[in-house]
Amino acid sequence: MLMHLERPHAKAVGFSEILADSGLSYFANGLIGFIFAATGPVAIILSAGMGGGLAQAELASWVFGVFFINGLITIAFSWRYRMPLGFAWTIPGTVLVGQALHHLSFAEVVGAYYATSLVIMLMGATGWVKRLMALLPMPIVMGMVAGVFLRFGLDLVRAVHNDAYIGVPMVASFVLLSAIPTLGRRFPPVIGALVAGALSITVSGSFHPETLGAFAIAHPVVQSPAFSLAALVELVVPLAITVLVVQNGQGVAVLRTGKHEPPVNTIAFMSGIGAALSAVVGAVSSCLTGPTNALLISSGELNQQYTAALSFGLLAVLFGIFAPTFTGLMLATPKEYIMVLGGLAMLRVLQGSFISSFGAGKFTLGALISLLVTVADISLLNIGAAFWGLVAGCAISSLMERHDFAELAAKA
C-alpha cells in the first residue's frame, strides 16, 4: 500500500548547504509565516476552546501540539524533499470542533481525531488523494484559493484605514523597498514593513506589555479518547474533507503555482500521522496549510525556498515549547499590525492566484463561481465555504464549460 507514497527526488542536504541556501529574505518569509500562524489562528483556537469549556491547561496543550508537532514535521519534510512543505493545523476544523464541544465531551472529540487520522492516512497510502487532485481543474482550485486569500488583501486595506499611524509607515516602507530593487535585495520589503510597524507601535504606545505574563514553558496534557457514534458521524468526514481537499488542496495548489511539485500522497499520509500525534495532546488535525506556504514561497529562488520553511518550522517548535510566553507576546501587539504585515506579504501570492484562475482562459466561469462561493463564507453541513466553492465551481463548469473538461479528461 505504501508504494503510492512519493519518494524524494533530491538527496538530503547537509548543514553547510542549508547555510549556503539561507538568506535574510528566506528567514523573513518564514518569520512572516510564523507570525501569521501565531496570531489569528491561535486566537481561533482560544476562542473555540474557551467556548467549548476547555480548561486553560487543555488550551495550552492544544497550542503546544499544533506548533511543536507540526513544526517538527515541517523541518523533517522540507529538509528531506528540499522544498517548502509547511505543515500546520486545519483552521476550519478548529471552528468545527469548537461547535461540537458544545454538545460533545472533549474525550469524544479526541476519539474522532484518531478516527480522522486513520482515514487521512489511508487516503494518502492508497494514492486516492493524488488521483482526486488530478481530476480537479487547477483554475477552479485556484479560484477557491484566491477566495480564501482575498481576505488578506481586504484586511490590509481595512487595517490601514482603522490605524493609519501603524499602517501607512508599513505600506510606505514596503513600497519604497519594492520600488528600489538594489535596496530591496539588501533589506527585504516585508522586513522593512515589520520594522516600520514595530517602531510605530513603540512610539504610539500601542504595545501592551501587561498582557505578557510570566515566562513559562508548556506542559502538554495527554488526553484519553472516548469513541461515540455521534462524534464519529459529526466530525470524521468533515474533518477529513477540510484536511485533504480544503487545506491540503490549497497548499498543493499554491506550491504548484510556485513551480514546485509537492508529494501529494505523502503529504496526506503525513497529515494523518501528524493528526494522530496531535490527538495525543488534544490538538486538532495536521495539514499542509495554504496561507503559510504561500508566504514561504512569496520570494526568492525556487531551490532555496525550503530554507524559509525550515525557519518557520524552527520558530514553530520554539513557540510550542514556550507557548504561554509567546502567545502573550503576540496578543500584546495591535491586530492592525498583524493584518498589514500579512496583507503585504500576501499581495504577490494573491495576484498569482488570480492569474492562475483566469489567465489561462479555461474553466474561467467555474473559477469565478468557486471564488464567489468561497468569499461568501457560508458553511453547510458543518463543512466550510472553501469546499463548497470547489463543488459549485466544478458543477457549473461541467455543465457550461464541457469542452474544457473534455480536454482535461483526455490529458488525465
The tens digit of pLDDT for each residue in 214-259 reads 667 878 889 999 998 888 887 887 788 888 877 898 899 889 988 9
**126 occurs within a structural domain:** yes
pLDDT at site 267: 94
As a whole number, mean pLDDT of residues 27-41 equals: 82
Beta strands in 73-230 (DSSP E): 87-89
What whole-number distance in Å separates Cα of residue 106 and Cα of residue 225? 8
Residue 163 predicted with pLDDT over 60 = yes
255: which 3 cell numbers? 506550491
**12 occurs within a structural domain:** yes
As a whole number, mean pLDDT of residues 151-169 equals: 87
Task: State the burial class of residue 398 (Cβ atoms within 10 Å of its Cβ: 0-12, 13-18, 19+).
Answer: middle
**188 occurs within a structural domain:** no
Residue 67 predicted with pLDDT over 90 = yes
**For the chain, how many structural domains are there in total?**
1
Beta strands in 285-364 (DSSP E): 286-288
pLDDT at site 207: 65
What whole-number distance in Å separates Cα of residue 90 and Cα of residue 271? 10
User: Band of the pLDDT at 401, cuts 50, 70, 90?
Assistant: confident
**169 occurs within a structural domain:** no
| Residue 22: φ, ψ to 5° | -75, 165
pLDDT at site 330: 61
Residue 148 predicted with pLDDT over 90 = no
**189 occurs within a structural domain:** no
pLDDT at site 215: 66
How confident is the model over 177-220, as pLDDT tens digits? Answer: 888 887 877 777 877 888 888 888 888 776 665 555 566 787 88
**223 occurs within a structural domain:** no
Residue 391 predicted with pLDDT over 80 = yes
Cell numbers 512610539 correspond to 203
* Domain extent at residue 151: 8-163+229-411
DSSP code at position 380: B
Percentage of residues of the chain with pLDDT beyond 90: 29
Report the predicted TM-score, pTM, of the whole model to 2 decimal places.
0.75
**182 occurs within a structural domain:** no
pLDDT at site 327: 62
Burial call 54-66: b when 16+ CB within 10 Å, e when fewer: beeebbbbbbbbb
pLDDT at site 10: 76
